[in-house]
Amino acid sequence: MTVSLEGKSAIVTGAAVGIGNAFARALAIQGVNLSICDIRGDDLQEIAETLDQIGIEVESTLADVSVPADVRGVVDKHISRFGGIDLLVSNAGTWAQSEATDDLDKSDADWDKVVGTNFAGVFLFGRAVIPHMIAHGGGNIVNIATDHFCTCGSPNVWNHDDAPDCPHGINPPRPVGGGSIMDLYDAGKSAINGLTLSWAKALHEQNIRVNAFCMGATDSHMLRGFNNFDPDPAEEAKLLEEFGWMKAEDIADCLVELVKEGEEGRSGENIGFALGHPVRLPKRQPIPTFMYEPLS
């Protein structure tokens, strides 16, 4: 069963560029009214105008997801304009090089930036919207993690019947982690899985579904920056074909499909999208019993 999203409302964080931008567009095409926020003012303005042209209502706020007052501001504005919130997409993310051997001062600053955005941002937005979702009888939360720990080779994560073998050649297990130069990125993203599972369990009775996406390399502002990818426009399509990066639009279509599952849809899943595999929502996993049985 799928439900219509027409007239629903959602918050998408980090919507100025990249995958969040694609999430916002895909939801707008479904008729979802949106609050978007970001720290990139000009790009935020641009996407707000595009969403407005699609014909939905848009609330756009310059806000840093790691700052509690900014988070409260976005959610308060959303509630006063739309009356409630049906969907939160906690997408805003950032990357900085951080290593086990870094000194304490650099590490302190990296913590604020990377964990502040990638983990605290998800935590704060969740805390801010959950009371409103409960008050309105339910909702959906989708947290954006990464494939560094949960990917095609991980048991119970990848379950397309017709998926080809893990493109990394070891299936399972595949090597995990983003490498030695992103310990805080990996730690913050991994921690999102804890929130997703815990919230899915805690909020099941309140009709709130909580899932995560843990995709691999997806074409975006961040990925292009990370790889210093700035090709001659004539070469771009050929290079992208060679790399096989996933398209943000395809991931966004999966988000729409997930939300359209409606009240009976899945919850507590960390949904993987991996290079070399079809980009589509995998079949639902069996409901983990721990989600619905109280711990004794």
Ligand X SMILES: NC(=O)c1ccc[n+]([C@@H]2O[C@H](COP(=O)([O-])OP(=O)(O)OC[C@H]3O[C@@H](n4cnc5c(N)ncnc54)[C@H](O)[C@@H]3O)[C@@H](O)[C@H]2O)c1
List of residues contacting ligand X (CB under 6 A): 13-14, 16-20, 38-40, 64-66, 91-94, 117, 144, 146, 215, 217-218, 220-223
Question: Looking at beta carbons only, is 249 or 262 nearer to ligand X?
Answer: 249
**CB 182 to ligand X: min, Å:** 10
Question: Looking at beta carbons only, is 197 or 248 nearer to ligand X?
Answer: 248
Amino acid at 35: S
**CB 118 to ligand X: min, Å:** 6
d(CA 103, CA 127): 32
Question: Looking at beta carbons only, is 9 or 220 nearer to ligand X?
Answer: 220
Q: Check residue 120 and report its DSSP letter.
A: I
**CB 221 to ligand X: min, Å:** 3
Residues forming a β-bridge with 153: none
User: Given its phi and psi angles, is residue 71 left (phi above 0), alpha (psi -120 to 50 degrees) or beta?
Assistant: alpha
Residues forming a β-bridge with 62: 38
d(CA 158, CA 153): 7
Instruction: List C-alpha distances in Å: 90 to 34, 82, 156, 210.
Output: 13, 18, 23, 11
Phi, psi of 11 (to 5 degrees): -110, 130
* Chain Cα centroid distance, residue 159: 20
- The answer to whether the CB of 35 falls within 8 A of the CB of 77 is yes
**CB 17 to ligand X: min, Å:** 4
Among all chains, which residue has been given the structure tokens 């008729």? 31
Question: Looking at beta carbons only, is 2 or 227 nearer to ligand X?
Answer: 227
Question: Looking at beta carbons only, is 107 or 229 nearer to ligand X?
Answer: 229
**CB 140 to ligand X: min, Å:** 17
Question: Looking at beta carbons only, is 31 or 224 nearer to ligand X?
Answer: 224
Helices and strands of the chain, counted as H and E runs? 9, 7
Instruction: List C-alpha distances in Å: 28 to 8, 49, 171, 254.
Output: 10, 12, 37, 14
**CB 41 to ligand X: min, Å:** 10
d(CA 258, CA 101): 40
- Supply the DSSP string of 160-204, one letter for each residue: -TTPPPPTTS-SSSPP-SS-TTBHHHHHHHHHHHHHHHHHHHHHT
**CB 62 to ligand X: min, Å:** 9
Question: Looking at beta carbons only, is 199 or 245 nearer to ligand X?
Answer: 245
**CB 85 to ligand X: min, Å:** 18
Question: Looking at beta carbons only, is 31 or 46 nearer to ligand X?
Answer: 46
